[in-house]
Amino acid sequence: DGGITQSPKYLFRKEGQNVTLSCEQNLNHDAMYWYRQDPGQGLRLIYYSQIVNDFQKGDIAEGYSVSREKKESFPLTVTSAQKNPTAFYLCASSLRLGWNTGELFFGEGSRLTVL
Amino acid sequence: DQQVKQNSPSLSVQEGRISILNCDYTNSMFDYFLWYKKYPAEGPTFLISISSIKDKNEDGRFTVFLNKSAKHLSLHIVPSQPGDSAVYFCAACETQGAQKLVFGQGTRLTINP
C-alpha cells in the first residue's frame, strides 16, 4: 500500500528534551511538508522540502529542525527552543511543489505532549 | 495575519439536509482552492478543489462555489450523511507564487440523525 507513515502516534516529552518525529512515504513524491495543528488555528506550515538535501522554512520554523537525506524520509526534530511544542503534527507529501499538485497526501499525525 | 478564514468553528445539520461550509480569503493572488476533510486523530484527506478560472466544481454530493469578487468560497454537501461529520479545512494556493497551501482554521460539521 502506498502512503505516508508517521511515528510515533503519541509522544510525551519532558521540558528541555529534544524529540524527533518520523515521516516516511512510499509514494515516490518529491515534495514533503510538516504542519502543526492547534485548536482554532488550522494547519500551519513548519518546514517543507522540494527535493532531497534541500528544505525551506515555513511560517513557524523557530524551534524546529528537519533533514531530507532520502527521498522517502523527512524527520522533524522539536527542539527545547520551541516554546509551546504540545500540538498535533502532520506530515504530508505531494508529487512535487507546484500549483497542479496542490493536493497533499497526509499521514495520520503525531500528537506530542510536553509534561 | 490569517489569509484564509473559516469564521464558523462548528456547524450542525440534520441528516438529509444541505450542509454549507464557508471560507473567506484576503490574498487576491490565490488562484487554486481546496477542501480537506479530517476525522479525529487522522490526517486530512483531499475532498474537492477549484481553480480560479471556474466558479463551480461538482463531485457527487460535494460542490464548491467560488466568488472571486467577494474572495469567498463555499462547500455544499447534499444530502448530508452521518459519515460527513468531520472537521473541514479550506486551503488556498498561489499557483504563480509561493505555491504553498495556506489553510483555514477548520469547521467542525456534525450531522444529526
Give the tens place of pLDDT for each residue, A74-85: 999 999 888 889
Provide the pLDDT confidence category of residue A1 given band limits of 50, 70 and 90.
Answer: low
CA-nearest residue of chain B to A49?
B100
Res A71: pLDDT? 96
Find out whether B22 and B7 touch, Cβ atoms under 8 Å.
yes
CA-nearest residue of chain B to A109?
B43
Distance CA(A111)–CA(A66), nearest Å, equals 18
Q: Average pLDDT of A80-98?
A: 87
Res A18: pLDDT? 93
The identity of residue A66, as a single letter, is V
Alpha-carbon distance values, A111 to A58, A93, A108 (Å): 20, 19, 10
* Nearest-neighbour CA in chain A from B18: distance (Å): 24
Give the tens place of pLDDT for each residue, A50-79: 899 999 999 899 999 999 999 999 999 999
Find out whether B16 and B84 touch, Cβ atoms under 8 Å.
no
Please state, rounded to an integer, the average pLDDT across all residues of chain A: 90
Q: Average pLDDT of B71-99?
A: 91
% of chain B beyond a pLDDT of 70? 96
Res A16: pLDDT? 86
Provide the pLDDT confidence category of residue B38 given band limits of 50, 70 and 90.
Answer: very high
Find out whether A48 and A108 touch, Cβ atoms under 8 Å.
no
Chain A partners within 8 Å of B48 (Cβ): none
In this predicted structure, the answer to whether residue B83 has a pLDDT above a threshold of 90 is: yes
Res A100: pLDDT? 53
Res A102: pLDDT? 56
